[in-house]
Structure 1
Amino acid sequence: MSATQAVKANPQPSGKKWQWQTVAQGLNHPWALAFLPDGRFLVSERSGNLRIIGAQGQIGAPIAGLPNIDVGGQGGLLDVVLDEQFAQNRRLYFCFSEAGGSGNSTALAEAKLSADNRRLEQVKTLFSQRPKIDSSAHFGCRIVLTPQHIYLGLGDRYSQKDQAQKLDNHIGKIVRLNRNGGTPSDNPFAKQNAAAEIWSYGHRNIQGMTADARGRLWTSEHGAQGGDEINLIEGGKNYGWPVITYGTDYGGGKIGEGITAKAGMEQPLYYWNPSIAPSGLTFVGSNPYGSDWQGNLLAGSLKFGYVARLKLDNTRVSGEEKIEVGERVRDVRQAPDGFVYVLTDSGNGKLLKLLPQ
């Protein structure tokens, strides 16, 4: 994909007046959403709580049994996903900021939700990002499950951007693990003098990650000022940060040499300039919103408070519709029944459902 021409975003206001139904509100910076088999919702709060929300919006008490979480800044309890066989095995996976030494890093854990939904059991940490850094920013922390593997998107910790180009650490990387937390022997750098868990590198701060119907991995990533990206991820590839970027540094000025392309580094499929701060990413399958939504990619915007509906022509983004929410969108997911839900990021965060026209 390194020869692919990056497409600059050209978002268009929606020609329709979409309506959002408030399912629940009063959440403390909710971060991730999962759909329980009985129609209820499992929501993580960055402040360190995991809660169940009833189908009618009742917010449950915090679930007990979480490990120690280093809450602060952008850190806390972040992504949560259910095992594909959750109805039978009660297993789930979550990632969080983990303290250690003189800093912290992103960790991935698995657990089982008790039959009464009140506590986590058999909690086991499967992976901890190395090294730990004294930073409260850029944890990344999005999880994608496939039948054999777990993919975890990681940030550059803000102060360590140059480490994203080095293969001896997990800073600014996507890692691929076996489902038990072990390292696959066919990972691209497993037989090199490198961190064997690495799947891809050169990432800044992955805030959305999902797989398409063909099993391909897609991400949304924060740039600095400009340069937010949609990427299609391939194992062993270098996605360029901080050597190439379509963004500029905070306060102005170039990042590195100020270049947007270099041999051996992947171009984004799509980029936003100015930044929208994308967060949450999902593909649309069967849905009540219309056949033209099928196969589209949805990305939330923290900065401008909308959902971007990205129309795809294979791997090319051919158009973007802005579906206004009016609040910071942290996560966007499609429920098993086809309806789209978002979480809004504030101290009075909401779970919202998109209603069909």
Structure 2
Amino acid sequence: MEKFLGIESEQVEKEHYQADVLILGGGPAGLTAAIYASRSRLKTIVVEQGLAGGQAATTFHIANFPGTNGTVGGKDLMQNMIEQAKSFGADIHDLKEVVSVDLQGDMKQISTIDADYNAPVIIIATGAESRRLPADGEPEYRGKGVHYCATCDGAMYQDADNVIVVGGGNSAVEEAGFLTKYAKHVTIVHQFDHFQASKTAQEEAAANPKISVIWDSEPRRIVGNGHLTGIEIENVKTHERTVVHANGAFVYIGMQPRTDLFKDQLKINDWGYVVADDEMRTDIPGVFVAGDVRSKTVRQVATAVGDGAVAAVNAERFLASRKSH
């Protein structure tokens, strides 16, 4: 319309930031890297597209993080990390919509709508996001009965007759238990005849009278009228289709890495994860990676924290080596 009327669009006045280390992503890996880097007196800026804390901040409880009293709230743990990083001097810029990342050359750049960030080192800690439910109607009912975070949306289903959880790993089984705080009943729908969750999580689910399981089944279609009222599922062995009536559904079928911003610049494996060595170094000098976005076999908060520490230590060494030369 502005072009049609011959009106000049206002140019956004961008802010410019210079740092020693830029960290893209404010989850456990990114915040740990920020703690280590800023404590080493490196000018450190964390750029996060959402709210700092990542997936861990939306997890009801984390039961196996070292040094905690059995369990710790994900939000509490991440808030401690945020405050610790800030106490050492790290700047955290969250709710920043990143439009481009340039990893080439001696100075790396992150551009958001309102700011440009430059540094000789960047640590990529963008993590992963929930894999979408491959069922007809998922886009239309996302947020209208289809959810991916029980901690965020579970309270919407206070006294609901039934809530479906799709999946069979730790997240699915543990969050099913969390949802019984609100819903009268929770039905887990899983594609196999056994869970992949830890034995402890399985035992807790089996002991919960408000949880039932439908095995060997996959969702095929969302049923509803403006809001989800059920899911049509198919038994993968008999191919029989039935509708499970529910007030809402929470999906935990795995994660997909957030690598779209730099997939044409970095070495990425067939599953979309960034390839790096044990020192968190990618194939581009000065670019490190940490956390769930990295190609590895175990993805936990504890492993993300370890990645972040290694990435920051090696970032400091890289800068020192560059300075000596």
The alignment's TM-score, normalised by the length of structure 1, stands at 0.27
More helix by share: 2
The alignment's TM-score, normalised by the length of structure 2, stands at 0.29
Highest RCO, 1 vs 2 (Cα 8 Å, sep ≥ 6): 2
More strand by share: 1
